[in-house]
Structure 1
Amino acid sequence: MALAYIGLGSNLEDPLAQVNRAFVELSQLPLTQLLQRSAIYTSTPVGPQQPDFTNAVALLDTHLAPLELLDALQAIEQAHQRVRIQHWGPRTLDLDLLLYGDAIINNERLTVPHPYLTQRSFVLYPLADITPDLHLPDGSVLRDWLAQCPPDGLNRISPAR
């Protein structure tokens, strides 16, 4: 089994409901257990002007291989009517595989750790809700990245569970 951290984001069609529904769907993935979920936050968007995002992070314990997990995440996105029209554009649901154990993966379909993980407050702060002492595969520590990433535009709207 591998511990996998999943970033959740939505800014269309009742984003809070989209994220909460995605948590339920993540808990129902085969060979996978939802261990924890971060607080839910709102954040200002990266990229073009659009509505604010609702974001969170889930911690999964999974027997799925990384690409199998990616396929399962994309199937959940599709069930939420995810349409990929614009890079960093609005979306009903975005599920990003942030970390998969200590794996470093770089192929045409998947990059793990997620390439922007250490630069995004809407990822770092929810990760810290779950595992504040997390060490990334390169040996760096989450707390050090948090110290360099102010929570600009990030607001907690619900507690971690």
Structure 2
Amino acid sequence: MRRLFALILTICLWFSFVPTAAAEFYSNLSPCSETPAFVEKAKNASTPQAQARFESYSDLLCGPEGYPRLITDGNLSHANEFLIPSVLFLYIAGWIGWAGRSYLIAIRDEKKTEEKEIIIDVPLAIKCSLAGATWPIAALGQLTSGKLTAKDNEIPISPR
């Protein structure tokens, strides 16, 4: 009875109370060069770096307060605003993670593993870091060969 009530309640909430959201991305945005608040902030820029930044932002879209907005609507004309930095971030984060993983795997069979985790073997760490630059290819190779994931019988299960 409780499950039936929960199912009916879920269906009612899903279909009746929440209308479909229809967002208009550009309705309150205008080019930054035409936004009065942005133009005023650009005039008050004191350093050459700030002036260059405002000049590069002038072709983006700004809100009424004069701040540039990132548009992530799937339109490729805005790829340089969000897609490129996010892919670059994921690549660098993966590189760091893969280099750390490679270092831990390399010192796993040594006598003083815990000591090598605290006092880092710099030549080995540099070698692992340089090799980590190709982490997407290495990860794909290990995934297809089965070395990246553990088999089900290797994963301990706690008794309940």
Q: Which bracket does the TM-score occupy, shorter chain normalised?
A: under 0.3
Higher relative contact order (CA 8 A, sep 6+): 1
Q: Which has the larger radius of gyration?
A: 2
Structure with higher strand content: 1
Structure with higher helix content: 2
Q: TM-score, normalised by structure 2?
A: 0.22
